[in-house]
Structure 1
Amino acid sequence: MEELKSAINQHLNQIDIFTADLQSGFQPAIDNLYGFFHAIDWKEPWVLCLISFHISLLLLVFISRNNINFQMCFFLITLSGVYLAEKINFILGNNWRSFAGQNYFDPHGVFFSVLWSGPLLIISILILINTLFSLCQLIVKWKRAELKHRARVSRNKQD
């Protein structure tokens, strides 16, 4: 019986800790986010180039939305960019003095994940959603064609 009481008390203590975290709300996360964005010099040329690179990729996704084959290749390229993010972060971390005012490239890759992998993953998700919509439309076309074909076959059998 004593073990049961001990287990219940431990469980209640864990719930108290969890509810205390929830009561603090999202303010600590928002404070960390503000700190992250204020630590970046958004006027550095390489940061502006990176942002314009992601914007151009996004425009390319919207322009090529009807070309599924191109988008599938583009999907693989964007996911390859995410896969190579750790290596790119390491290379840029070793050479940051040649292009940046401060070392943004921490060993854990948080900065690079936010500014490189995050937008690439969003672009990949958009490509995936577009592909799913295209596949749904293709299934509808195929089913309509199948129904028309069945109607023609049944008409020919009746004649």
Structure 2
Amino acid sequence: RISMEEGQSLPEGAEPIYDINGTTGIDDFIGGLEEQVYAMAREAGNAPKNFTEDVQAFIAAVDWNEKWIQGLLLGHFLLWVITLGFRRRFYLQVFIFFMVCAMVWSSEHINSAAHVRWQSFSTQDYFDPSGFFISVMFAGPLLALALFQMINFLIISANMLVEVKRNELKTNLASKKKKKKQ
């Protein structure tokens, strides 16, 4: 990059590719590219116009009859049922939480491996380098579960705090009664 000192100007006919006042302009550049892509897709007549259409396009692009996708959805469902059913079992929740965190952490590696071997288990390659599919179908539901568990941990902690305070008050009251009798 050429830095522009105060008072300098660009050579005749040159146009800056970034804001010469100090910002890189990368946000403007990426925003412009994004708008061009959407404009080209609109001209072709197949660009999603809003979030709802984006979701509908995603749903239409996925073959929901593939056994591995059905198994993935069933796995998420069972994990949610187990987590909700045993939400008061603290140590089980901790185990599930760390298991979920490990699965989310490994999703990039799973995506890379699945991209290489997709033909052995799928009819199409859902596993692009950006990881959109695995983020939506694998990591997203797991992160939602982890968020639920964090909220559940806060509730468990609040209930424990109330219980400890009650026991402390009972103990103090009992010791005061004992002192009065003596």
Query: TM-score, normalised on structure 1?
Result: 0.81
Of 60, 71, 82 in structure 1, the residue corresponding to residue 104 of structure 2 is 82
Aligned to 1:140: 162
Partner of 1:63: 85
SS of the residue corresponding to residue 123 of structure 2 reads: coil
TM-score (norm 2): 0.71
Aligned runs of 1:24-103 on 2, under 5 Å? 28-103=50-125
1-structure distance, mates of 2:112, 2:81:
29
Question: Partners in 2 of 1:78 and 1:107 — Cα distance?
Answer: 22
Aligned residue type for 1:135: S
AA of the residue aligned to 2:117: N
Q: Percent identity?
A: 31
1:63, CA displacement in angstroms?
2.2
The counterpart of 1:121, out of the listed 126, 131, 143, is 143
Distance 2:81 2:53 in 1: 32
Q: What letter corresponds to residue 50 of structure 2 in structure 1?
A: P
Q: Distance in 1 between matches of 2:142 and 2:51?
A: 23
Q: What are the ranges of 5 or more consecutive residues in structure 1 without an aligned counterpart?
A: 1-13, 15-26
Moved more, 30-39 or 41-50: 30-39
Q: 1:52-80 deviations in whole A, cap 9, x for unaligned?
A: 01111111102221210111011000011
Distance 1:123 1:86 in 2: 19
Cα deviations by residue, 1:112-158 (Å, 9 ceiling, x for unpaired)? 10000011111111222222111111111110111111111111222
Higher helix share: 1
Greater relative contact order, per chain length (Cα 8 Å cut-off, separation 6+): 1
Residue type of the alignment partner of 2:61: A
**1:48: Cα distance to partner?**
0.4
One-letter identity of the residue aligned with 1:123: L
Looking at structure 1, the residues matched to 74 and 55 of structure 2 have their Cα atoms a distance apart, in angstroms, of 22
Q: How many residues align?
A: 137
Which amino acid is 1:77 matched to? Answer: M
Larger Rg: 2
Q: Secondary structure at the residue paired with 1:105?
A: coil
C-alpha distance after superposition, 1:78-119 (max 9, x if no partner):
011000000000000100001100100000000010000011
